[in-house]
Amino acid sequence: MSIKETEELILNMGPQHPSMHGLFRMVVHLEGETITKIEPKLGYLHRGMEKLAESRTYAQFIPYTDRLDYLASPHNNWAYVQTVEKLMGVEIPERAEYLRVIFGELARIASHQVMIASTALDMAGWSAWSYAFRDRERICDMYEMTAGSRLTVNIMRIGGMSAEPPEEFWPALKSFLDDTPEMLEEYYGIFFGNEIALGRLKNVGILSKEMAENLSITGPVLRASGVDYDVRKAEPYSIYDRFDFKVPVRTGCDSYDRTIIRMDEIVESIKIIKQAVRDIPEGPVMAKVPKVIKPPAGEVYHRVENPKGELGFYIVSDGTTKPSRVRIRPATFINLQMLPIVALGWKIQDVVAIFATLDAVLGEVDK
């Protein structure tokens, strides 16, 4: 009997698959268990945000931005309202700026907690998942106190914040900040100290520095490849130039560094929130903005550092109450381009690890 030739196996992963973080689908070509080609298929959650924006007024579009990266919705609000404010030349009150920083950094912590939890889950670590989600609940509670909802908070307005946080917000925030060192200790112990997790993540999926720059990668994925770049430092928006914090950079370029860099970022976010709580002034949270928002004709591109990378809005106004074009530059959509390149030659289980460390949220990828 002759030996049969090996045949290429085509495997479809997703869109309904627990490790696909939403509705992501990829067609994987396998030679044995080794990957020879990956074709990501996007669009299962495409809602046509950019088209919807053209038929809504500027203020009406704010709730839609919540649905982009739904794990860090205050950030999406922030990017959008700041772009409109830049276009109109609106100055917002000091207190609102500080509140935006507090909620933005809380969202960053919550988003990174979900990332750590879901990466642990993809590595079959159920218990680590429950620890991070337990702590994230407290941030959701703080959202709920202020804005009334827990996930898509819609907390910012053109010209300030939707509401002043209630009295019970401040003690809740303080106790959360006091407990964070203990929380991080637990994550380190249960996930990053786990040999199975380390084996699945260390030296898996190397993304070199040159490759990352050429692929327009941003955010923690770029910084884990040894590039010191953060929009908060490079082009400080809002009041980030007033705070003392570091940008964590790691040079391992592998899945492990892409995961643990989020832990470093949580530490820095806590530092920023503590400084903001210390310095926050009294005053109104909303500027005087005309009832009908009608920016002058013009165009502006503005970007913020979303937990996943750089989120940019490019708005073209024609001088009417509705935007002529709203372009969303989603961070993870562009970061996702590394997956078919980096995963080549790895085994099928490594693709799950590489995809998890990208921290893709399909609401943002598919818009």
Partner 1 sequence: MENNELLKRQVEELASRVNGEVEESFGVLVLTVKAPYITETLTAAKQFAEVPCDFLHDLCGLDRVEHFEVVYQLSSLRGPQKLRVKALLNRENPVVDSVTRIWQGANYLEREAYDMFGIIFKGHPNLKRIYMWDDFEGYPLRKDYVTEPIEVRNIVRQRIEGE
CB of 183 closer than 8 Å to CB of 117 = no
Among 41, 62, 8, which Cα is nearest to 289's? 62
Among 97, 51, 45, 10, which Cα is nearest to 281's? 97
Binding characters for partner 1, 20-49, by CB under 8 A (x = yes): ----------------------xx--x-x-
Residue 70: CB minimum distance to partner 1, A: 18
Residue 15: CB minimum distance to partner 1, A: 13
Q: Which is closer to partner 1, CB of 49 or CB of 197?
A: 49
Stretch that binds partner 1, among 140-148, 200-208, 281-289, 312-320 (CB under 8 A): 312-320
The answer to whether residue 168 forms part of the interface with partner 1 (CB under 8 A) is: no
CB of 103 closer than 8 Å to CB of 74 = yes
Residue 342: CB minimum distance to partner 1, A: 12
- Considering only residues 202 to 221 of the shown chain, the ones binding partner 1 according to CB under 8 A are 211, 213-217
Residue 109: CB minimum distance to partner 1, A: 25
Helix orientation angle between 169-187 and 94-122, rounded to the nearest 10 degrees: 30
Task: Count the site residues for partner 1 by CB under 8 A.
Answer: 37
Terminal CA-to-CA distance of the chain, rounded, Å? 54
The answer to whether residue 245 forms part of the interface with partner 1 (CB under 8 A) is: no
Cis bond before residue 281 (omega within 30° of 0): no
Binding characters for partner 1, 84-123, by CB under 8 A (x = yes): --xx------------------------------------
Q: Which is closer to partner 1, CB of 175 or CB of 320?
A: 320
Kindly compute the dihedral angle of the four CA atoms of residues 192, 197, 199, 200, in this order, to the nearest 10 degrees: -130
Residue of the chain from 17, 250, 327, 347 that contacts partner 1 (CB under 8 A): 327
Binding characters for partner 1, 45-84, by CB under 8 A (x = yes): -x-x-xx---------------------------------
The answer to whether residue 280 forms part of the interface with partner 1 (CB under 8 A) is: no
**CA 137 to each of CA 113, 133, 172, 238: distance values in angstroms, whole numbers, following the listed order:** 10, 6, 12, 27
- DSSP SS3 for 180: helix
The answer to whether residue 336 forms part of the interface with partner 1 (CB under 8 A) is: yes
The answer to whether residue 346 forms part of the interface with partner 1 (CB under 8 A) is: no
Q: Which is closer to partner 1, CB of 263 or CB of 300?
A: 300
CA distance 168 to 65: 28
Stretch that binds partner 1, among 13-21, 105-113, 263-271, 333-341 (CB under 8 A): 333-341
Q: Which is closer to partner 1, CB of 196 or CB of 341?
A: 341
Q: How many CA atoms lie within 13 A of 140 on its CB side?
A: 15
The answer to whether residue 235 forms part of the interface with partner 1 (CB under 8 A) is: yes
Residue written as token pair 């399909």: 362
CB of 304 closer than 8 Å to CB of 79 = yes
Residue 233: CB minimum distance to partner 1, A: 11
What is the CB neighbour count within 10 angstroms for residue 227?
17
Task: Convert 154-166 to b/e letters by CB count within 10 Å (16 or more is b).
Answer: bbbbbbbbbeebe
Residues that bind partner 1 (CB under 8 A): 42-43, 46, 48, 50-51, 86-87, 211, 213-217, 227, 229, 234-235, 298-301, 303, 310, 312, 314, 316, 325, 327, 329, 333-334, 336-337, 341, 366-367
